[in-house]
Amino acid sequence: MSFESNVKAFALEAGFDLAGIAAVQPARHAEAYREWLRKGYHADMDWISRNVETRCDPKVWVPKAKSMIVVGVSYVTQSPDPEIWNDPMRGRIARYAWGRDYHKVIQKRLKTFADWIVQNGPPGSEAVYFNDARPMLEHDAALAAGLGFVGRNSLLIHPEWGSMLFLGGLLVNQELKPDEPTPGLGNTILTDEGRSADCGSCTRCLTSCPTHAFPAEYILDSRLCISYQTIENRKDIPEALRPKLGNWIFGCDVCQEVCPWVKKFSTPGRDPWLIPEPDRMAPRLDELADLDDDGFLNRFAGTPVMRTKRRGMLRNVAVALGNSGHPDAQAPLEKLADDKEELIASHARWALKRGPASGG
């Protein structure tokens, strides 16, 4: 077996579901990224606008890098009972957060992979890992490594794994034989205009977005995205958006759930760690409304949900209760309206004024 074949074989042993290799190169969509920033589509996520040149060219970050090994991990789990999401007194949590924080899981596997490269590669081999916590445009790296194409919702879609993938990889100081673009998806993956040739005429992801967060195909305005509003936004959720959030309290999966590629080709990972239990997928809103700081920590420690802190989560819970249209939402909302955190209390007062029993 070639070293490249051994690399991919070990990637599977290390817990990854797919792997590809590309030469280190400037990001294909660097100018589109810069334009996205100029238009303010990153909202107040300032870290996305830092290290722009580093993100656009990996050699700025790791000058010795010659090859990229890009890996993916599926976060698809066994099919949950969708009826649980129809319970108006339950909130929805995005699939990737149904368990341990993926950063810790993926970083541990990437470090193991990097150590293997150093020990088993040509003499003098070095490897630096990257994921979404480091300055790389992972989608462009994955495109270069032949791991799929970009859909109209701006997500990477693999033809056999769909788009519910965690991406990461290694920058190595050895020249490895690169992979070709994925067969059957158009030799260049994207057209010269940088647009996917593989979504056909389908626009379900765009038309199904509850907040219309796509001003154009392939472009996401974070300011309108439910994931941004429920996770990264630390302030008030704009009142015009609140009714559109439905019962999402952490993230959103709509633009993936409606995608035909995801519906047909998503495959559970080889080494899953996310658990589709009711209280992970759709916890009861009235139970969450009772959480104090210690209760929030005990319930969500070690999971991505910790990113919102209690104040962000209960703000979201108040909005979801206000959208529920259920009379049982009245009591927990009255409790939240007296919360010491004004962010929570103000959203609860909005929900009470809106009239949870009527949903409007």
Q: Do both 213 and 322 map to the same domain?
A: yes
> What pLDDT shows up at residue 273?
81
> What pLDDT shows up at residue 186?
37
Q: Do both 157 and 250 map to the same domain?
A: no
- Given the residues 81, 115, 132, 293, select the one marked as catalytic: 132
> What pLDDT shows up at residue 356?
58
Q: Do both 165 and 282 map to the same domain?
A: no
- Which of 155, 172, 189 is a domain's end point? 172
Containing structural domain, residue 143: 3-78+100-172
Q: Do both 157 and 10 map to the same domain?
A: yes
Q: Do both 220 and 131 map to the same domain?
A: no
Low-confidence ranges of the chain (pLDDT < 70): 79-80, 181-197, 356-360
Q: Do both 21 and 144 map to the same domain?
A: yes
- Tell me how crowded residue 38 is: count the other CB atoms within 10 A of its CB: 10
Q: Do both 125 and 230 map to the same domain?
A: no
Residue 58 falls within a domain, yes or no?
A: yes
- Our count of domains for the chain comes to 2
Residue 328 known to be catalytic: no
> What pLDDT shows up at residue 226?
98
> What pLDDT shows up at residue 27?
92
> What pLDDT shows up at residue 149?
87
Q: Do both 162 and 27 map to the same domain?
A: yes
> What pLDDT shows up at residue 181?
63
> What pLDDT shows up at residue 324?
96
First and final CA of the chain: distance in angstroms?
64
Q: Do both 227 and 147 map to the same domain?
A: no
> Would the pTM of this model clear 0.75, i.e. be above it?
yes
- Which of 119, 152, 172 is a domain's end point? 172
> What pLDDT shows up at residue 266?
87
Q: Do both 142 and 275 map to the same domain?
A: no
- Which of 121, 153, 172 is a domain's end point? 172
